[in-house]
Chains A and B, each alone.
Chain A
Amino acid sequence: MSAPTQAPAPPVAVQPSRSRPTPEISWSRGDKIGVAMAWGAGILLCLIAGSIVAYMLFRGIQYLDLSLLFSHPQVGLDQSKTGGFLDPIEGTVLLTVLGTLIAAPVGVGIAVWLSEYGRPSWLARTVESGVEIVAGTPSIVLAIFGLLVFQQSFFGFLSFTAEGNAVFGRSFFTAGAIMSLIALPLVVGATREALQAIPAHVREASYALGKDRISTIRRVLLPASQRGIGTGVTLGMGRIVGDTAIVVVLLGASLQIEPENGTPVWGLLKGTGSTLTTYVYNNSPVGEGNAPEKAYAAAFVLLVIVIFLNFVVDLIARRKEPSWTR
């Protein structure tokens, strides 16, 4: 049974088609310049993006060797003996997972609170500005702040502790915690948007069935916001993958992953490491490794990861889902 959702439309009297204005549109010079600039800007952006990808593809494939992906980096003067970047890849994955595991639940929680409760309103406004401030803070500032916090002896259990109880403050834990902050605003924003797109009558339908707010959120609103949450989380992962400053300051950017001795997983997370971004930085001509070929190869891998994440975002956002009429 097909259901046109509109009442039968009243027959509209067919108006005699008026002669259209001549196709020659006379544009003012200002408009012409504006249009030309807009075109130019768009094309320029495409060129820049295209050349980045093309250049990295060219350089990356030139220097990328599968063995680089599977060998540990080593210290050495001879470039043929400095190994690959297995540890940075592992570090990237580990840090991204860790950051996302923190950012996703917290971000969704904040978004739900803002959208479904949001009272008292002054608190909601404060939380909103808080999220905006975190979103606008450069990651290096967040990193320095994180170091300050995590070097307190209270947080000693999260990183190496030297003799005399000096806390190192750098570990996967601490870096992951701060990384979650840069992903958080994206999760909050996308989730909130998705929640606000759900018409009010859907919530009311759940209340009208005798459900309280919590079960409405859990069973109706969150499932309906899946797409938004997925988009936000994936965008956040992209931010984490691409960040350098936090890794340099809070992960130690050590060449190899250096777990603390003792418990296997906990020790790993308490230890230091590096990611692809810091590996690229260190091996680029400005870094101490001075192995630009490896930097290019690693940068290529990084780019592939980021493009893949963007692709996933696209995939999630474009997934067609039936929706309600408002």
Chain B
Amino acid sequence: MDPLSPLDGGTDPMREPMTVAAQLPPPVRRIVVETPPTAVSPPPPGSNGHSPHAMVAPSLRRMPRAQTTPIERMRTEALSIAYGEKLAVNQVSLSIRQGEVLALIGPSGCGKTTLLRSLNRLVDLTPGAIRGGRILLDGEDVDSFDVTLLRRRVGMLFQQPNPFPMSIFDNVAYGLRERGSKKPSRRQLETPVIEALHRAGLFEEVKDNLDHPALALSGGQQQRLCIARSLAIQPEVLLLDEPCSALDPISTQVIEETIVSLRTEIAIVIVTHNLQQAQRVADHVAFMYLGDLIEYGEAERVFGSPVAERTREYVSGGFG
């Protein structure tokens, strides 16, 4: 799909009605009898049917964010990953810093998800995957860590919301339990669980039904629960694999706000197909193509004046 086509850019036209809808109760369709139907003037000839107002992109504005002094937490050095014969990531060196959001963009199959999954060694679970080069977390090779410890420090959020089939509370407490030989009591867990739910912006919505099954939540709430679940074990790096692609615009906005607010304490890497989303949340952008890192730089620069021809084509919607 072409990420820049007007249809996908539907996030822009969605924006305005969205703020109205946010104040209303959730009915999907509202039949208004007393007010006359709103008249919409026909689009000017030669336009693509979208009103010019919608094309002025409020979404292209970056989200307001606090000033930070980025500290490098992870780096990849000439990282290559192959699945059997197929080279998915080729000699990529990147720096992942706390205090900023790094967005990995690129067309499907460009290796960005593979790169992301290698950072917490999830790629090791794929049969036939081979990794070359180095990945460092605070200067230490990730292979020198116990893998469970590494994954506690480098959390991950997936494309599909995937809470576990247990209560909301137990989902967040999942990572905290069975850490040592002693089982923590529910009361001991309560404080970190509630704090994680607060940080994920979910607590107010679920505070009265922490014992309800998590899978009964809406998709957006489930995804925020997954964020809370990751945050509960206090990761230092958070990897997000297209976290909003299965969500509606309102949930997407809430999650993006969460991401931007978390970046001061956690280094965040986000893989996204949605260029508008990358523009909204990212401080740095890495553009990948066919396994190669083509361009890396500050978000405004990569989107505003890309250096590489490929990047220019991609961010302008030339291909996707």
- Chain A interface residues (CB < 8 Å from chain B): 1-8, 10, 199, 201-202, 204-212, 215, 219-220, 223-224, 321-326
Give CA–CA (A324, B171) in the complex, Å.
Answer: 15
The prevalent SS among residues of A at the interface is loop
* Given the contacts A207-B122, A208-B122, A210-B175, A3 and B10 also touching, CB distance less than 8 Å: no
Give CA–CA (A205, B155) in the complex, Å.
Answer: 9
* Cβ of A291 to closest chain B Cβ, rounded Å: 51
Q: Which 10 A-B pairs have the closest CB atoms?
A: A3-B219, A322-B215, A210-B152, A208-B156, A209-B175, A3-B218, A210-B151, A210-B148, A10-B7, A3-B220
Give per-residue flags for B159-170: 1 if the beta carbon is below 8 A from chain A beta carbons, else 0: 111101110000
* Cβ of A217 to closest chain B Cβ, rounded Å: 12
| CB pair A326 B160 closer than 8 Å | yes
Given contacts A1-B250, A202-B164, 10 further A-B contacts (CB under 8 A): A2-B28, A3-B218, A5-B219, A5-B248, A7-B8, A199-B160, A201-B162, A204-B156, A205-B164, A211-B148
| CB pair B7 A202 closer than 8 Å | no
| CB pair B248 A202 closer than 8 Å | no
Task: Identify which of B14, B149, B158, B213 contacts A201 (C-beta below 8 A).
Answer: B158
| CB pair B158 A205 closer than 8 Å | yes
* Cβ of B296 to closest chain A Cβ, rounded Å: 25
| CB pair A1 B160 closer than 8 Å | no
Give per-residue flags for B203-229: 1 if the beta carbon is below 8 A from chain A beta carbons, else 0: 001000000010110111100001001
> In the complex, which of the residues B160, B213, B221 has the most CB atoms of chain A within 10 Å of its own CB atom?
B160
| CB pair A220 B251 closer than 8 Å | no
> In the complex, which of the residues A4, A5, A205, A223 has the most CB atoms of chain B within 10 Å of its own CB atom?
A205
B residues less than 8 Å from A223 (CB atoms) = 164-166
| CB pair A1 B151 closer than 8 Å | no
* Given the contacts A3-B220, A210-B151, A8 and B158 also touching, CB distance less than 8 Å: no
* Cβ of A246 to closest chain B Cβ, rounded Å: 36
* Cβ of B315 to closest chain A Cβ, rounded Å: 20
B174 CB–A CB distance under 8 Å: yes
Which residue of chain A has the shortest Cβ distance to B244 in the bound complex? Answer: A7
* Cβ of B109 to closest chain A Cβ, rounded Å: 18
B233 CB–A CB distance under 8 Å: yes
* Cβ of B13 to closest chain A Cβ, rounded Å: 9
> In the complex, which of the residues B165, B178, B226, B250 has the most CB atoms of chain A within 10 Å of its own CB atom?
B165
A residues less than 8 Å from B245 (CB atoms) = 7
| CB pair B149 A210 closer than 8 Å | yes
* Given the contacts A3-B251, A8-B14, A322-B215, A212 and B26 also touching, CB distance less than 8 Å: no
| CB pair A208 B246 closer than 8 Å | no
Which residue of chain B has the shortest Cβ distance to A200 in the bound complex? Answer: B125
Task: Identify which of A3, A199, A219, A323 contacts B215 (C-beta below 8 A).
Answer: A323
Number of residue pairs spanning A and B whose beta carbons lie under 8 angstroms apart: 108
Give CA–CA (A219, B179) in the complex, Å.
Answer: 14
Which residues between 118 and 142 of chain B lie within 8 Å of chain A, taking CB atoms? 120, 122, 125
A residues less than 8 Å from B205 (CB atoms) = 1
Which residue of chain A has the shortest Cβ distance to B127 in the bound complex? Answer: A119
| CB pair B215 A208 closer than 8 Å | no
Which residue of chain B has the shortest Cβ distance to A10 in the bound complex? Answer: B7
A residues less than 8 Å from B213 (CB atoms) = 322
* Given the contacts A3-B247, A224-B165, A321 and B215 also touching, CB distance less than 8 Å: yes
| CB pair B175 A1 closer than 8 Å | no
* Given the contacts A1-B220, A207-B125, A324 and B162 also touching, CB distance less than 8 Å: yes
Give CA–CA (A204, B123) in the complex, Å.
Answer: 10
Which residue of chain A has the shortest Cβ distance to B179 in the bound complex? Answer: A210
Of the A-B pairs whose beta carbons lie under 8 Å apart in the complex, a sample of 26, sorted by A's number, is A1-B26, A1-B218, A2-B248, A3-B219, A6-B246, A7-B10, A10-B7, A199-B162, A201-B158, A201-B160, A204-B125, A207-B122, A208-B151, A208-B158, A209-B151, A209-B152, A210-B149, A210-B152, A211-B174, A211-B175, A215-B178, A219-B164, A220-B164, A322-B215, A322-B216, A324-B161
Give per-residue flags for B22-42: 1 if the beta carbon is below 8 A from chain A beta carbons, else 0: 000010100000000000000
Task: Identify which of A1, A206, A321, A325 contacts B246 (C-beta below 8 A).
Answer: A325
B76 CB–A CB distance under 8 Å: no
* Cβ of A326 to closest chain B Cβ, rounded Å: 7
| CB pair A219 B174 closer than 8 Å | yes
B230 CB–A CB distance under 8 Å: yes
Give CA–CA (A323, B165) in the complex, Å.
Answer: 8
* Given the contacts A10-B7, A199-B162, A209 and B229 also touching, CB distance less than 8 Å: yes
Task: Identify which of A5, A206, A208, A321 contacts B164 (C-beta below 8 A).
Answer: A206
Which residue of chain A has the shortest Cβ distance to B7 in the bound complex? Answer: A10
Task: Identify which of B7, B120, B149, B216 contacts A208 (C-beta below 8 A).
Answer: B120
A residues less than 8 Å from B120 (CB atoms) = 208
Give CA–CA (A215, B179) in the complex, Å.
Answer: 11
B residues less than 8 Å from A8 (CB atoms) = 7, 10, 14
* Given the contacts A1-B220, A219-B164, A224-B165, A209 and B230 also touching, CB distance less than 8 Å: yes
Which residue of chain B has the shortest Cβ distance to A222 in the bound complex? Answer: B165
B residues less than 8 Å from A208 (CB atoms) = 120, 122, 151, 155-156, 158, 230
A residues less than 8 Å from B28 (CB atoms) = 2
